[in-house]
Amino acid sequence: MKHFNLNDQPDELLMGQSALSNRFTSCPDQRCYDITYEGRALRIKEREKGIETLWFLFIQSDQLRLEWAGSSSEYPETTELLAAIEAAVVNYPHQQKISLQVPGGEIQTLFDSGVLIKNENNQLVVYVDAFWQQVGVWCSAKSAQVFPIHYVFSQGRSHPLRPPKPVGKVYQRYIPWLGRTLAFRVIDAETDLRRFNRWMNDPVVANFWQEEGDMSKHLDYLAAIEADPHVIGLIGCFDDEPFGYFEIYWAKEDRLSPYYDVNDFDRGWHVLIGESHMRGKPFVTAWLPSISHYLFLDDDRTQRLVIEPRIDNNKMIRNLEKCGYINIKEFDFPHKRAVLGMLSRERFFAEQRWVPRHVSPPQSVSMF
């Protein structure tokens, strides 16, 4: 294996097309690594044991390359390799693939999962769209066995039995243009009720949700969500600071299903941003692609996401379009006239819709 010293690398190196993120944390399979960019190198430190390794990330002949700088008699753990790859795709968000130079070892699972591919020249390649579909990099640990299909009836509709609801944190992702980590966790009525009540009574939120009321009303609201197997309530956080509420649902058994040709694993979502200082483009470009990403990761049988904003919610409709959602039609709910927006799995991953269209350094990022 070829090794570089910090002073003899090629000129076409790390910062040419990079998002210029200096440090962040990656937690594949719940093992956390602190990653630091030092000029032309990546330093990756396993948080629990304190073990630190060195990698090189650079552009060579228009190809992004990631190389292990350890000795040939050693090799990185699978989770460290995943963290190094995430570091590469975070700083070079529009690359289609990564050329990887790493010693063998216990990496067969990465071939089995599609993270690593050998090309026609027998070189290791990471296809970025495939990497972004790796559940364990961003989501809490899940069984390799997908929940089996068993049809049941509810409210007069046939649909697959849904898996048990998750608890705690379900997704986290470092956002380079904000320099913060975004996370979604399941709402907890005991600790989140007061905040949820305040958000619902905010005039901006109430204009679209129309769920103003006292805490007793909102406690009943959250109890109904908890009891409904097709809906999950999530709290969105930036660096553990809550900013908004997301309601995700299986569309087949939702009130939306009669209005379009619904599939068994379509998912939909609603959102309110409760903290006014976390509204606006820099934050939308983080949470909107991330909630879409989470829903595609949560079940790989989900091929489409749907959303039905009120027809006069022009800002939301524009943001959805910029994130890849297509306006299918206008239609009338009993309580509102809405637009049906839809995003396909193929488009989201093929067009790398998890990042804004033009990413610049964090201090001057151009949104969408």
- What residues are labeled active site? 308
Question: What b/e readout covers 182-208, taking b as 16+ CB neighbours within 10 angstroms?
Answer: bbbbbbebeebbeebbebbbbeebeeb
Separation between Cα atoms, residue 12 and residue 107, nearest integer Å:
29
Six token digits for residue 299:
């079940």
Six token digits for residue 149:
């299909």
Tokens 């879409």, located at residue: 292
Report the Cα 89 to chain-centroid distance in Å: 13
Q: What is the DSSP string of 160-193?
A: EPPPPPP-SEEEEEEETTTTEEEEEEE--HHHHH
In the sheet that holds 117-118, the strands lie side by side as 23-26, 33-38, 41-46, 52-60, 63-68, 97-101, 124-127, 117-118
Six token digits for residue 306:
């749907």
Alpha helices, H only, the chain: 78-91, 108-112, 128-131, 135-138, 189-200, 203-209, 215-227, 281-298, 314-322, 345-350
Amino acid at 232: I
- In 3D, which of 75, 124, 70, 69 has the Cα closest to residue 103? 75
State the Rg of the chain over Cα.
Answer: 22
Separation between Cα atoms, residue 176 and residue 23, nearest integer Å:
9
Amino acid at 62: D
